[in-house]
Chains A and B, each alone.
Chain A
Amino acid sequence: MASSATTAAPARPQRRASFVQRFFSGDSLSYALTFLAAAVLIAITALLVYELWSRSALSREKFGFHFLVTSTWNPVTENFGALPFIFGTVVTSALALLIAVPFGVGAAIFLAELAPPKLSDGMTFLIELLAAVPSVIFGLIGIFVLVPALLVVVPPIKDALGDHAPFFFSGPFYGVSILAAGVVLSIMIAPFIISVSREVLLAVPKDLREAALALGATRWETTWQVVVPHARRGIMGSIFLALARSLGETMAVTMVVGNNPHIVTSLLASGYSIAAVIANEFAEASGMQSSALIELGLVLFVLTIALNGAARLLILATGAKGASR
């Protein structure tokens, strides 16, 4: 037995060593590991969709597509529709973007292009800290600081407008409102826009700036007409990251939005969002209500995918325009 082992030995270990060597040399191993990492995430996403789909069966069978266009939410009669929540989610997020994008992009341009490096680094650090604050803290700030502040600021504006107030700025105001939710969300998402946009602006090649300056452009002209257009895709990317965050935000929204499951036309009225109603009602729900809440989760998932898809198309479109110029 010992003799046969010595004769066979030289060939086999050599072949094995070469395979092991090749495997551990990097390419195959890194391929396997990174593939595994990607596959796990995709599997989790697929499982999530499957669970949402199968557990919402009760509600999907009963309401069908009417679920998306019905604006009743009545746990007693078990009649459920998603429209007020879809509406609230989209409106609060849109309002948040409307406020956060000019501020965020403006701040990023200042920090990347105009501010002295020391100031820029210090401020960036503080802004990134803001991104790490838990959302319940933003909710508390919303309740105890923002809402009382809005109660002081908004009524005089309303009085000044009088009968000329537009429909989205009318009706009684109690502080907790779609407006308050939009403002809190904008504070939460601005750090994402600022810190990602700043990185993108800093990554614009130096040659471009120098070329523009050499052609006689001022510093602002260089920034606005050369650097920002070049970084446009990245800035768009940061905005959509922020949008995704605001769509799914739960705690902070439910604390200031007023939790009113009806469609309202005024920003001053209280509304609701998909994530907020799930957080509010899921613990005590059973049967049809629980199924309808899970279907709402599915709707939020689809809404996020749809908006992300739209975002990608928009980036493609603006990218093509930039190239043709």
Chain B
Amino acid sequence: MIEVKEIRRSFGPVVAVDGISFNAGKGDVLGLLGPNGAGKSTAMRILACFLRPDSGTATICGYDILRSPIDVRRSLGYVGENVPAYNEMTVGAFLNFICDVREISGKDRKRALDRIVPMCSIDSVYHQTIETLSKGYKRRVGLAQALIHDPQVLILDEPTDGLDPNQKYEVRQLINKMSKDKCIIVSTHILEEVEAVCSRTIIIARGRILVDSTPEALKEKYRCSLDEVFRKITKTKAA
């Protein structure tokens, strides 16, 4: 479902993503791991067609990110790092706007909203403006926005950042529940999250892929916790 071929992107002299390639299919929950500034968000923004790569390309659900960005965006759900939204809108108005853009109307819209609102537990804040919501609720609204069209591919940039332990648990449950029939990419630097949800993990530092493996295989190979594995890999290999 996702094929990434040698994407590269720099901002002035800084190379953010330096020739990343990987594939992911249905049922995969791919964890992008890496220290801050490793290039995780840039890579995800390129896949969501927000940024153009300097070179290389990727296909998502058969659509090329350079040639048919609109089709790519139609088939994926994306939640950015800071969960951008229109703060002056109410949750309901915001979700209706997303439905307008994604051309979900009539009965389909009602069905989509009836499914997504309880699923993301945002019933109680449906009529509240987004700027008055707590961080946890904002994130859930972001998730609802990304899931409303039931996309095949989901790209989540640090989906549990700033959530309390209960909310983290809920989001992870949600990801696990959806993982069977979707392809999900999650970026994070919380290692317990990788163990909790990811079927595969890619460790990135300085824009390059250092490891592409499963969390279990990594622990087996290095015979220590994921925390230590992460430290060993990012400090020795990236240096």
A and B are interacting partners: no
